[in-house]
C-alpha cells in the first residue's frame, strides 16, 4: 500500500521538540555571551576607575579617597573629572563618565542614555569604608602608605544598590566588615568585581574569604 506524503503527528511532535530544544540552546548561548561581554566591560570600567583613583591620590598626598563634606556627599563626582567626566559642573551629586555604569546596572545605564549624566549614589561601586576617616565634618581617605599587603586589601567593591538591590541575580554575597552586615546580590555569573589596593581587579565569588560573615575570616581583606 502506498504511503501518503506528509508528516505524521508523531514526526511533527518530534520536530517541534527538537526545534524548541535548539531555540533554548541558542537563547542560552546568547545570554552567556551577553553576560560575558557585560562582565568584561565592567572589569574594564573598574580598571579605569583604578587609574582615576590613583591619579587623584598622586595629586593629594596619596589619599585613597577624595575629601568630601560630611557623610552624605558622594566621592565619585570628584573622581569623575579624572575619568573624562564633568559631573561637578552640575552639582556635587552628579557623574557623567560612563566608566561608572556596569551594563547590568540598568538604572544607571538608562539615566546616561536619557540625560547624559546620573546620580552618584547609584554607581554600585562603593569604597571600602575602612580606608577612610572623618574629621571636622569632612570624610577623606587614609594615605596609601598605611595599607599593608595592598594586593589582598579591598579598595572598591562592585555591588547592587544597597537601598533596594536593584540589579543582579538572586545569589547574595555578604561583605561583613564593610561597616555593616551587608547583603548584596551577585552581579555577574563569576561573581562581583573587586578592585584591590594594589590596582588589580578580579571577580570574587560568594565563597571567597572576603565575603565571609565571620569577621575573623573576612576582616584581613578589609582592615588596612
Separation CA 188–CA 42 (nearest Å): 9
Residue 60 has pLDDT above 60, yes or no: yes
Burial call 27-55: b when 16+ CB within 10 Å, e when fewer: eeeeeeeebeebbeebbebbebbbebbbe
Chain center to CA of 212: 18
Residue 30 has pLDDT above 60, yes or no: no
35 band by pLDDT with thresholds 50, 70 and 90: low
Q: How confident is the model over 92-126, as pLDDT tens digits? A: 899 999 999 888 888 888 999 999 999 888 788 88
Please count the other Cβ atoms lying within 10 Å of the Cβ belonging to residue 24: 10
Put simply, whether the predicted model's pTM sits higher than 0.75 gets the answer yes
Give every CB contact of residue 197 below 8 A, 6+ residues apart in sequence.
64, 131, 144, 147, 150, 151, 153, 154, 155
**Count of helices and strands (H, E) across the chain:** 4, 10
The total number of residues shown for the chain amounts to 224
Contact (CB, 8 A) for 197 and 144: yes
Terminal alpha carbon distance of the chain: 86
Looking at residue 116, its pLDDT comes to 94
Element (H, E) at 174: strand 172-175
Give every CB contact of residue 1 below 8 A, 6+ residues apart in sequence.
none
Q: How confident is the model over 131-141, as pLDDT tens digits? A: 999 888 899 99
Rank 9-13, 20-24, 129-133 by mean pLDDT and report only the highest.
Answer: 129-133
For the chain, the farthest-separated pair of C-alpha atoms sits apart, in whole angstroms, at 99
Residue 201 has pLDDT above 70, yes or no: yes
Q: Please report the DSSP string for 127-159 in residue order.
A: B-GGGEEEETTEEEEPBGGG-SSGGGSEEEE--
Q: How confident is the model over 146-191, as pLDDT tens digits? A: 999 999 999 998 887 655 666 766 677 777 665 545 667 888 888 8
Amino acid at each position: 500500500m502506498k504511503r501518503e506524503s506528509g508528516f505524521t503527528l508523531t514526526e511533527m511532535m518530534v520536530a517541534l521538540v527538537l526545534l524548541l530544544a535548539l531555540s533554548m540552546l541558542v537563547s542560552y548561548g546568547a545570554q552567556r555571551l551577553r553576560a560575558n561581554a557585560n562582565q568584561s566591560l565592567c572589569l574594564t570600567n573598574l580598571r579605569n576607575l583604578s587609574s582615576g583613583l590613583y591619579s587623584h591620590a598622586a595629586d593629594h598626598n596619596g589619599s585613597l579617597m577624595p575629601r568630601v563634606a560630611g557623610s552624605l556627599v558622594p566621592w565619585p563626582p570628584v573622581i569623575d573629572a579624572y575619568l573624562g567626566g564633568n559631573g561637578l559642573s552640575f552639582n556635587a551629586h552628579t557623574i557623567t563618565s560612563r566608566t561608572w555604569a556596569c551594563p547590568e546596572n540598568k538604572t544607571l545605564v538608562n539615566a546616561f542614555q536619557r540625560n547624559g549624566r546620573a546620580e552618584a549614589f547609584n554607581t554600585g561601586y562603593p569604597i571600602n569604608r575602612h580606608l577612610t576617616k572623618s574629621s571636622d565634618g569632612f570624610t577623606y581617605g587614609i594615605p596609601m602608605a598605611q595599607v599593608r599587603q595592598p594586593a589582598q586589601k579591598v579598595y572598591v567593591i562592585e555591588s547592587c544598590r544597597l537601598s533596594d538591590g536593584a540589579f543582579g541575580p538572586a545569589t547574595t554575597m555578604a561583605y561583613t566588615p564593610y561597616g555593616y552586615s551587608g547583603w548584596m546580590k551577585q552581579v555577574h555569573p563569576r561573581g562581583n568585581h573587586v578592585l584591590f589596593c594594589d590596582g588589580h581587579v578580579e571577580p570574587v565569588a560568594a565563597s571567597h574569604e572576603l565575603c565571609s560573615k565571620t569577621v575573623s575570616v573576612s576582616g584581613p581583606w578589609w582592615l588596612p
